[in-house]
């Protein structure tokens, strides 16, 4: 992959008829295989005793942290959102952090991967919204203040999907490009500094992606009934206090 | 000057201007956001976690405008579609 290739899509390793294998697909498979392998190793001997394996301890910390973040941000029970949000976060963070490994091209530095992830979020928002408050209740969100806002709500839904895709792509691609350019003009020390900065950016971008997906889903699921539920909880609490 | 020279010059100058002007606004905005968040944390250290999380989400959203400019300038420099139109041999 040369410096002129904007994304790892352009570097085709193997081609046969219509099927082609480029760096994006290859490294996506590698990340998937790595995550499956680590999960299998960690969950092979699950135990509830205090003497647990290191892998299980590690995964419990990760899952617990994600659960806490989901609970804090969405103010709802995290169990429903953990599979989707947690998978998004772990996939993005794995591929972003592995970018420091020599020879690894992060699949998130390709617009195809990030667009696919953003489309997943675009589909997940109505799915969670309809599952939570019904078809009519979800559609009512689009005309929420007034029906005049309908086109703006639809446009907002599409443009935030585009923003989600281009943000992750731009950040990861710029990290790779800056590394390559610095390698050409100051190859001794500076690429390492920029790579260390790239670790931080990759972690933050994965976090941002997951949090924004959660915020979008949360806004579709808790719009109307939160206030009434809070009032009901408040009333029951006061009744119990009386 | 022939077409190739004009297109190359226009692409390079536009890419530079895009990223230069496009990073002014986000830089000012991020500076203001960080300054406000710092003073908020100084006033309420207990809420530091929540403020930091909101700050990072907000910074990423502000920064995405600069990232759009960066993507446009990268496309102009490395994947300019006009090159293919002028001469398929030059395309890159």
pTM of the model: 0.81
Q: How far is A147 from chain B (nearest CA, A)?
A: 27
Residue A105, phi-psi category: left (phi > 0), alpha (psi -120 to 50), beta (remainder): beta
B63 CB neighbours in chain A (<8 A) are 167
CA distance A5 to A109: 11
Token pair listed for A234: 């408040």
DSSP H or E stretch at residue A9: none
Q: What separation in angstroms does the CA of A193 have from each of A1, A118, A189, B66?
A: 22, 30, 7, 22
Interface contacts A/B by beta carbons within 8 Å: 47
**Which pLDDT score, from 0 to 100, does residue A75 have?**
83
CATH topology of domain B3-79: F1FO ATP Synthase (1.20.20)
Bigger pLDDT: B89 vs B36 = B36
**Which pLDDT score, from 0 to 100, does residue B82 have?**
79
pLDDT in tens, A35-46: 999 989 888 888
The mean predicted confidence, pLDDT, of chain B is 86
B67 CB neighbours in chain A (<8 A) are 166-167, 170-171, 174
Write down the domain spans for chain A: 8-241
Average pLDDT score over residue span B32-46: 95
CA-based torsion, A46, A52, A54, A57: positive or negative: positive
Most confidently modeled range among A70-84, B11-25, B71-85: B11-25
Query: Does the ipTM exceed 0.95?
Result: no
CA distance A203 to A199: 6
From chain B residues 33-92, the ones with a CB under 8 A of any chain A CB are: 50, 53, 56-57, 60-61, 63-64, 67-68, 70-71, 74-75, 78-79, 92
By the CB < 8 Å criterion, does A181 face chain B? Answer: no
Torsion on CA atoms A143, A149, A151, A152, rounded to nearest 10: -120
Average pLDDT score over residue span B12-33: 94
In contact, B11 and B82? CB cutoff 8 Å: yes
Token pair listed for A174: 């710029």
B79 CB neighbours in chain A (<8 A) are 6
Query: B57: exposed, middle or buried (C-beta count within 10 Å: 0-12, 13-18, 19+)?
Result: middle
In contact, B78 and B91? CB cutoff 8 Å: no
> Is residue B79 over pLDDT 70?
yes
Average pLDDT score over residue span B34-39: 95
**Which pLDDT score, from 0 to 100, does residue B91 have?**
46
> Is residue B92 over pLDDT 50?
no
**Which pLDDT score, from 0 to 100, does residue A2 have?**
64
CA distance A173 to A110: 7
Q: Is B57's CB within 8 Å of A212's CB?
A: yes
Mean pLDDT by 10 residues, chain A (242 residues): 69 76 88 92 82 86 92 86 93 92 87 93 93 86 82 88 90 84 84 86 90 89 60 65 64
In chain B the first and final C-alpha atoms are separated, in Å, by 22
Among A167, A173, A177, beta carbon nearest to B64: A167
> Is residue B87 over pLDDT 70?
no
Confidence of residue B76 (pLDDT cuts 50, 70, 90): confident
């Amino acid at each position: 992959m040369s410096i002129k290739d904007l994304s790892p899509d352009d570097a085709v390793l193997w081609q046969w008829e219509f099927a082609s294998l480029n760096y994006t697909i290859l490294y996506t498979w590698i990340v998937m295989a790595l995550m499956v392998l680590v999960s299998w190793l960690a969950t092979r001997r699950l135990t509830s005793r205090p003497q647990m394996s290191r892998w299980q301890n590690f995964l419990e910390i990760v899952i617990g942290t994600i659960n806490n973040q989901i609970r804090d941000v969405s103010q709802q029970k995290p169990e429903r959102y953990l599979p989707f949000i947690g998978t998004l976060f772990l996939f993005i963070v794995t591929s972003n952090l592995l970018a420091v490994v020599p020879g690894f091209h992060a699949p998130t530095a390709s617009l195809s991967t990030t667009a696919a992830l953003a489309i997943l979020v675009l589909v997940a928002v109505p799915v969670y919204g309809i599952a939570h408050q019904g078809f009519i209740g979800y559609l009512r969100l689009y005309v929420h203040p007034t029906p005049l806002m309908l086109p703006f709500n639809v446009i907002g839904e599409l443009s935030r999907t585009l923003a989600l895709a281009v943000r992750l792509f731009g950040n990861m691609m710029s990290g790779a490009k800056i590394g390559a350019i610095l390698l050409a003009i100051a190859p001794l020390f500076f690429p390492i500094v920029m790579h260390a900065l790239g670790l931080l950016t990759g972690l933050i971008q994965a976090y941002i992606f997951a949090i924004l997906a959660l915020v979008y889903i949360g806004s579709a699921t808790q719009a109307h009934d939160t206030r009434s539920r809070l009032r009901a909880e408040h009333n029951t609490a006061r009744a119990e206090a009386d | 000057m022939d077409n190739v020279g004009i297109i190359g010059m226009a692409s390079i100058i536009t890419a530079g201007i895009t990223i230069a002007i496009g990073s002014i606004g986000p830089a000012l905005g991020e500076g203001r956001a960080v300054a406000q968040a710092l003073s908020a944390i100084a006033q309420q250290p207990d809420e530091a976690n929540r403020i930091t999380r909101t700050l990072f989400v907000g910074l990423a959203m502000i920064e995405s405008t600069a990232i759009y400019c960066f993507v446009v300038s990268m496309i102009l420099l490395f994947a300019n579609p006009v090159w293919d139109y002028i001469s398929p041999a030059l395309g890159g």
